[in-house]
Structure 1
Amino acid sequence: MTEQDSLLYGVEYPPESGQLHYDFELRLPVIGDNIAAIEAQGVSTNLRLNVAMMARGLVKLGDIPPEEITYELLEKGLVDDDFDVLAEAREKLKKKRMRPKPSLPISGLPSSPSASMASPNPASSN
């Protein structure tokens, strides 16, 4: 399961080439990505960890070879608004992956709770 979208400002690759890459495909990072990001970057800041995990989750970024989509590339070339675009794509993936909420069971109860609670008409009991 992946999410595809486009960055607003793009990432320059190769560095100093002026070539910007916008279209991306992102998969949902898994715990292995988190572990690898911690091992590579440490846990100094949450942002560094998130950027490292984002780099691991990017399946495609323009025409950049997948092995070149690294923490270092994103750290030096990703604009903060584009990070927000990637984070939004990750949230969409999380929602798609969530377990569906169970539907309400069908029962034989009256559709109106007041129908079963109605008082008898006093005139009819005489």
Structure 2
Amino acid sequence: MTNNQKQWDGLTISGELPVGVYYAGTRHKSFTLRVPLANDLIVIQEQFPQAPLPLITLGMYHRQLLVLGDIPEEALTLELLREGLLESDLAVIANTDAELEKKLAPQVAASPIGGESNTNSSSTATESTK
């Protein structure tokens, strides 16, 4: 793992695309997606101020992709994804992104089993049982 990728330790999910992106004579299917950053959206909206939502979304995923098969980083462009990513592959990336968000969401603390009750048992007794 490179120093640049160490910053994403624990903040990524890897997966496999059903079809993959064709590059240099091979379909590249394995990918690693990192968490989205606020800056990702800002950069994409600055690059494409009037872009439709699908392009903004694809731009976000492009920025989040750390690895796509053996495609070199400099060749993994937004244009390559626009031209080579199938909708079924895009759906897998979208689902992986949602899974990553869930993985990183704070866990809701469950109330302890058998914990203390807020009511005093003597105050709930009826007059006939006192």
Amino acid at match of 1:21: H
In the TM superposition, 1:84-123 aligns within 5 A as 84-104=91-111, 108-109=116-117, 117-121=124-128
Supply the AA of the counterpart residue of 2:23.
Answer: Y
Distance 1:7 1:116, change over 3 A: farther
* Structure 2 residue 41 is matched with structure 1 residue 34: yes
Instruction: Provide structure 2 residue ranges, at least 5 long, that are not aligned to the other structure.
Output: 1-10
Work out whether residues 43 and 49 of structure 1, in 8 Å CA contact, stay in contact via their aligned partners in 2. Answer: no
Q: SS in structure 2 opposite 1:10?
A: strand
Deviation, 1:65, is 0.7
Unaligned runs of 5+ in 1: none
**Other structure's SS at 2:19 match:** strand
Correspondence 1:1-126 to 2 at 5 A: 1-14=11-24, 17=25, 19-104=26-111, 108-109=116-117, 117-121=124-128
How many residues of Structure 1 are paired with residues of Structure 2 in the alignment?
119
Superposed CA deviations along residues 8-38 of structure 1, whole A, max 9, x for unmatched, are 1100113xx3x10000000011111111111
* Matched AA of 1:31: A
Q: Deviations over 1:69-104 (max 9, x none)?
A: 221011000000100000011001111111221332
Larger mean Cα displacement after TM superposition, 58-67 or 37-46:
37-46
Letter of the structure 2 residue corresponding to residue 5 of structure 1 = G
RMSD: 2.5
Quickly say closer, same or farther: Cα 1:102–1:43, change in 2 above 3 A.
farther
Identity %: 32
